[in-house]
Amino acid sequence: MLKYICLFLLIINSLHGYSQPKTMAAIKTELEKSPNAPLYVKDILKKKFKLDTVVVTRTTRFNSLADSLAYKGVLRKVYGPFTIQGQKFLVQILARLPNTFYKISQIFIDTSVFRYRIADSIGNAILSKLKNHQDSFEHLAQTYSMGGESATRGDLGWVARGSVIPAIDQKLAKAKKGDVFMVWSANGLHIIKLTEVPKQDHGVALMMRIFL
């Protein structure tokens, strides 16, 4: 306990002598230099802040600003200001953890359109064509897939472990590059191809929003 009290006092003492920066550029510079950015925001800037843990699910086609910064942002760098719903704020990337990413393609057969038996028949016919080298996965995705990936020739890009349905996750953990397998879900039949060797990449980011 004494060790943590001493560490806290050292951080407090390190903040003495700081004067509140006057410009946006100065605020960003001081935040990036600070050994404890949240404490600096609280005690020197006297601003409200919020810590957010953002899970990266894809490395492209981001759903939001937070997703994009969580993956692309430079550690400790301050971005902004941004304005969302009238609220102005800065964003700083405080820390990151890695995750495993899989590059996959998909052909999806929707069972709200086809009965299970028909979907199963289509899936087996697709697998047979692939096994016998009668067609490419990309062309079959364009022809049969009933999801948005039909426009991308099946390509879903790099997706994070844990961001797809568990049955697909389990299969991907054992798959090798080029493997194709079928998985059923509540929505239909998923024919998945692992198109690249799995890789480690930015998986989770701890980010701070500083409200201006």
Task: Work out the pLDDT band at 19, boundaries 50, 70, 90.
Answer: low
pLDDT digits (tens, 9 = 90+) for 69-113: 999 999 999 999 999 999 999 999 999 999 999 999 999 999 999
CA distance 66 to 57: 12
CA distance 127 to 107: 11
Q: How many CB atoms lie within 10 A of CB 105?
A: 22
Put residue 111 in one of left, alpha, beta given phi > 0 → left and psi -120 to 50 → alpha.
alpha
What's the pLDDT at 149?
A: 86
pLDDT digits (tens, 9 = 90+) for 32-59: 999 999 999 999 999 999 999 999 999 9
CA distance 167 to 202: 23
- 87: amino acid identity, one letter: Q
- Taking the alpha carbons of 60, 64, 65, 67 in that order, is the dihedral positive or negative? negative
Task: Work out the pLDDT band at 18, boundaries 50, 70, 90.
Answer: low
DSSP state of 42: I
Residue spans per domain, the chain? 1-47, 100-200
Query: Is the confidence at residue 125, as pLDDT, over 60?
Result: yes
Query: Is the confidence at residue 14, as pLDDT, over 60?
Result: no
- Output the CA–CA distances (angstroms, integers) from residue 66 to 42, 106, 136, 193, 206, in the order listed: 22, 26, 36, 29, 11
What's the pLDDT at 147?
A: 84
The model's pTM = 0.81
Q: Which CATH number fits domain 100-200: 3.20.20.110, 3.20.20.70, 3.90.1260.10, 3.10.50.40?
A: 3.10.50.40
What's the pLDDT at 38?
A: 95
Burial of 40 (0-12, 13-18, 19+ CB in 10 A): buried
Residue 96 parent element (H or E): strand 87-110
